[in-house]
Structure 1
């Protein structure tokens, strides 16, 4: 089930955020994510967040700022089971175009977004981490 984020979801969402970043971005020092934990937790209330829930347990979430996907994260146990696609499909239904940034070295995420019809718009360096990232765009097909 996909639903709107509640403040009571913060701990579960942040645990998924930290674990997913540590796993997917092993090319960035772990303390980078731990250092940004509180900052990100404080930003949750200003983003539009949807969570995926299974039997009362949060298994993933997507954060949006207008047409920008700030992040899509799935609990390790649920990865590869369609949760990320379900969250992404939900925001695709609500928008005519979407943007996101993904690290070039995050091949799994890059492949996922390309399968989901996102195209690379440009390559740039992430100022905070120093890593190269792609800005990607999706546009809803007209019927």
Structure 2
């Protein structure tokens, strides 16, 4: 992603995941499947939140793994819309740092 600030996770000198930020937007977050559920995604999101505070992301409604991750992290639903290039529904989610801080 050429206009993104990207943070990478390396394990044993191999890239196993990354998060790309465009302003306060999570443009992408990916992990090798072997590392799903091992706190690496949370660690990447924590870094994004540390850098940007409030965050927003769009995720395909059909992406149950991504939706579950964002909701567990504390993102809340803003809107649902049609992503015309694919004809699929997209959810726009927001993480509000102040609310997360007050919960802890």
| TM-score, normalising length: structure 1 | 0.66
Is 1:123 paired with 2:80? yes
Matches within 5 A, 1:1-143: 44-141=1-98
In 2, Cα distance between the equivalents of 1:63 and 1:113? Answer: 15
- Structure 2 residue runs without a partner (length 5+): none
| TM-score, normalising length: structure 2 | 0.89
- Structure 1 residue runs without a partner (length 5+): 1-43
More strand by share: 2
Higher CA-based Rg:
1
In 2, Cα distance between the equivalents of 1:60 and 1:102? Answer: 17
More helix by share: 1
Aligned Cα RMSD in Å? Answer: 1.2
Structure 1's consecutive aligned runs of 4 or more residues displaced over 2 angstroms after TM superposition are none
